[in-house]
Amino acid sequence: MNQQANMEMSQTNFRKPEPSFYVGWIALTSLSVPLAFFFSLIVLKIVTNVVGDFIVVNGIRHITEDYLLMYVFVPFIGLSTGALQYVLLRKVLPRMGWWVPATVGGWLLGVFLLALPGWLGWTGTPPDNLDLVFLVMGLAIGTAQWVLLQRRLARAGWWIAANILGWGLLGLTIPGNTLDQYGLFTLGLVPACATAAMLALYISRVPFPSTGPGQ
């Protein structure tokens, strides 16, 4: 059976979402970032109590929390975002269990791509321009999630475009291109609005049965 036939069979398992689905999508995705940051601080506090306030890496002394923050925060944000989105998606699309690992993988891929030039000696540090960081993260997360969606939705490539657009707009909405408490909330809000709009536009064109399992 070809891929198109498989997607058509999957579409028979769709259950058209209520408007509350899109509100929930935006709300939960927005909350996932500060939630991940909160749990990251808890983990870092525990680590600091064990190893001390400072850590030495390659002979250089670092503040433990500052050095380990991204190593803890990135997996947590991928996990929290993927898990909260999955709670909603599983009611609409079939066989979405891999959404959480796909989202975590997208976040890790984005950070890897941003760090790669520095590791290769192309630049001294990862990009300082958050506009570039946002575009790379949108591309990485959108592509990782697309790998799963393209087996369930025709023309799922628009999902990548929606993520790039949403993340790209962050540079215009975060004051001073810096991440503070406001920025942490916005980091989830703007991409969530873009992907929710894409889902609404796409799903409105998909024929749904009157009933379906929605799993």
pLDDT tens digit sequence for 107-131: 999 999 988 887 777 654 555 677 8
Residue span of the structural domain in which 15 resides? 3-203
C-alpha radius of gyration, the chain, whole number: 19
Q: Which residues contact 173 (CB under 8 A, 6 or more apart)?
A: 186, 190
**Cα atoms found within 13 Å of the Cα of residue 100, Cβ hemisphere only:** 12
Which residue do the tokens 């979405």 mark? 96
pTM exceeding the 0.85 threshold for the entire prediction: no
pLDDT in tens, 5-41: 344 434 445 667 788 999 999 999 999 999 999 999 9
Of 194, 178, 92, the C-alpha closest to 142 is 194
Phi, psi of 154 (to 5 degrees): -70, 145
Residue 143 lies in a domain: yes
* pLDDT for position 179: 57
Judge whether 133 and 127 are in contact, CB under 8 Å.
yes
Q: Which residue has the higher pLDDT, 177 or 143?
A: 143
Residue 213 lies inside a defined structural domain of this protein = no
| Residue at 112 is within a domain | yes
Confidence of residue 46 (pLDDT cuts 50, 70, 90): very high
Task: Please say whether the beta carbons of 139 and 175 come within 8 A.
Answer: no
Assess if residue 210 is contained within a domain: no
pLDDT given at position 183: 66
Q: Tell me if 38 is assigned to some domain.
A: yes
| 71 lies in some domain | yes
Whole-number pLDDT of residue 215 = 36
Whether 14 is covered by a domain: the verdict is yes
Instruction: Tell which wins on pLDDT, 2 or 205.
Output: 205
- How many structural domains comprise the chain? 1
- State the amino acid at position 169 in one-letter form: L
Q: Is 85 part of a structural domain of the chain?
A: yes
Predicted pLDDT at 155: 80
Mean pLDDT computed over 193-205:
83
Buried b (16+ CB within 10 A) or exposed e, 15-37: bebeeebbebbbebbbbbbbbbb
